[in-house]
Amino acid sequence: MKIDEIILREVGMRLKGPFETSFGTICGRRIALVEVRCDGISGWGEVTAAEGPFYNSETTDIAWIVLCNFVAPLLLGKNIKTASEVMQLLEPIRGHEMAKAALETALWDVEARQKGLPLWRLLGGTRPEIACGVSLGIRHDPQELIGAVEKELKDGYQRIKIKIKPGKDLDFVSAVRKQFPKTRLMADANSAYRLADAEFLRKFDAFELMMIEQPLEWDDMYHHSKLQTLLKTPICLDECIHNPDHAEAALNMGACRIINIKLGRVGGHSHARQIEELCRSRGVPVWCGGMLETGIGRAHNIAMSTLSGFVLPGDVSASQRYWDEDLIEPEVQVTPSGTIRVPTAPGIGYTVRTKRVEQLTTRLETLRAVNSGVPVAG
């Protein structure tokens, strides 16, 4: 695959409703999309960074700069055999996993299209259908949250994740558990607590949660390892895990018993596969996290979720939960039993609605290899 051209587009998209987490409320998104062209074939990826550095340290704007000034120059004009070589080429760039992942995943899409294979098959996936859960933003009061849970269960979702923050935690989880004694429940704190809150966090042990996600500092595994010894509830790490070495360290020090894999956060499909393999070999469950992606990021999440280690329902839900109109065709749909049937078309398996992308584009940058042979348009 000769990497001829990289096209960055920023799209502005309004979420159907506000999404509140412990680090803030998100109403609309500014999302950078990557289209990479190799030998006349386009592949697509999405930067999953948020607008501000409140989930992790990356942002849409910073990723844009890193992609233009550092990632693209390392890749343009290069001839690679497989997308699995990309992370090696990008090794000089430290951090910025979400920026790298956008290009890495786009190149996996190209490779799959070139080979006429659905991406999930190229990745080594084995499940033609994946299990879906939902992530519910923080609500005003427990009653409102119960209403939201009821709706999602009616739609078939197999697991409910409740976002929590100090003051909107125990009562909310307790009320939902009381109303739905059998439902698979979990809570996600997005780093809102400290080890000093351990006594308080132990109270969640009463609710038979599948896990509590990232209760402590976004970049600290040591405190999580201390906390895990005090909790019955398994800790799942999200923010802390940026690469396969982090995953290994977390397992070795007992900082978690479950890992949430997000393609952006770990730098793309190659790293995601390595983490999945490591966890599978240790009997540690993984699941696919979400970052309020458009259908492009969502399609990559679906492909990744077909790997056999993804034994728990992911935050991979229908396009219609977040968007009035998605960027792909067909939109991601969830069956009444809370699953997504994985598409069989080559590449990400969905068609990018380029007209719609164009309409929503607020920023555009085309980067070409010197002597790429691609004619410069108008």
The alpha carbon of 99 is separated from its chain's Cα centroid by a whole number of angstroms, namely 13
Instruction: Map the footprint of ligand OSB across residues 212-241, applying CB under 6 A.
Output: 238
* Length of the chain, in residues: 378
Q: Based on CB atoms, which residue is closest to ligand OSB, 3 or 348?
A: 348
Q: Answer for the pair 262, 254: CB distance below 8 angstroms, yes or no.
A: no
By the rule CB under 6 A, 46 interacts with ligand OSB: no
Q: How many residues bind ligand OSB (CB under 6 A)?
A: 12
Distance (Å, rounded) from C-alpha 97 to C-alpha 349?
24
Q: Based on CB atoms, which residue is closest to ligand OSB, 238 or 326?
A: 238
The partner residues of 238 in beta bridges, in order of sequence, read none
Catalytic residue among 100, 161, 163, 168: 163
Q: Quick check: is 163 catalytic? A: yes
Mark 238-277 with x for binding to ligand OSB (rule: CB under 6 A) and - for no binding: x---------------------------------------
Q: Answer for the pair 270, 86: CB distance below 8 angstroms, yes or no.
A: yes
Mark 124-153 with x for binding to ligand OSB (rule: CB under 6 A) and - for no binding: -----------x------------------
The partner residues of 134 in beta bridges, in order of sequence, read 160
Q: Judged by CB under 6 A, which of 22, 84, 114, 190 binds ligand OSB?
A: 190
By the rule CB under 6 A, 315 interacts with ligand OSB: yes
The one-letter amino acid at 67: L
Catalytic residue among 100, 161, 168, 262: 262
By the rule CB under 5 A, 238 interacts with Mg ion: yes
Which element (helix H / strand E) includes 176?
helix 170-179
Instruction: Give the residue closest to ligand OSB by C-beta.
Output: 290
Q: Which two tokens stand for residue 308?
A: 């056999």
By the rule CB under 6 A, 295 interacts with ligand OSB: no
Q: Answer for the pair 349, 299: CB distance below 8 angstroms, yes or no.
A: yes
Q: Judged by CB under 6 A, which of 6, 8, 20, 55 binds ligand OSB?
A: 55
Distance (Å, rounded) from C-alpha 259 to C-alpha 248?
11
Indicate which of Mg ion, ligand OSB, none lies near residue 290 (CB less than 5 to 8 Å, by partner kind): ligand OSB
Q: Quick check: is 232 catalytic? A: no
Q: Which two tokens stand for residue 100?
A: 């790298």
Q: Which residues of 289-306 are buried (b: 16+ CB within 10 A; e: fewer)?
A: bbbbbbbbbbbbbbbbbb
Nearest to 41 by CA among 150, 117, 96: 117
Taking CB under 6 A as the binding criterion, the range among 10-18, 122-130, 285-293, 360-368 that sits at the site for ligand OSB is 285-293
- Residues with Cβ within 8 Å of 221's Cβ and at least 6 positions away in sequence, in order, are 237, 240, 246, 249, 250, 253, 255
Taking CB under 5 A as the binding criterion, the range among 9-17, 63-71, 93-101, 231-239 that sits at the site for Mg ion is 231-239
By the rule CB under 6 A, 204 interacts with ligand OSB: no
Indicate which of Mg ion, ligand OSB, none lies near residue 55 (CB less than 5 to 8 Å, by partner kind): ligand OSB
Q: Based on CB atoms, which residue is closest to ligand OSB, 84 or 214?
A: 214
Distance (Å, rounded) from C-alpha 72 to C-alpha 130?
33
Across the chain, which distance is largest between two alpha carbons, in Å? 65
By the rule CB under 6 A, 289 interacts with ligand OSB: yes
List interacting residues with ligand OSB (CB under 6 A).
Answer: 21, 55, 135, 188, 190, 238, 289-292, 315, 317
Active site residues: 163, 262
List interacting residues with Mg ion (CB under 5 A).
Answer: 188, 213, 238
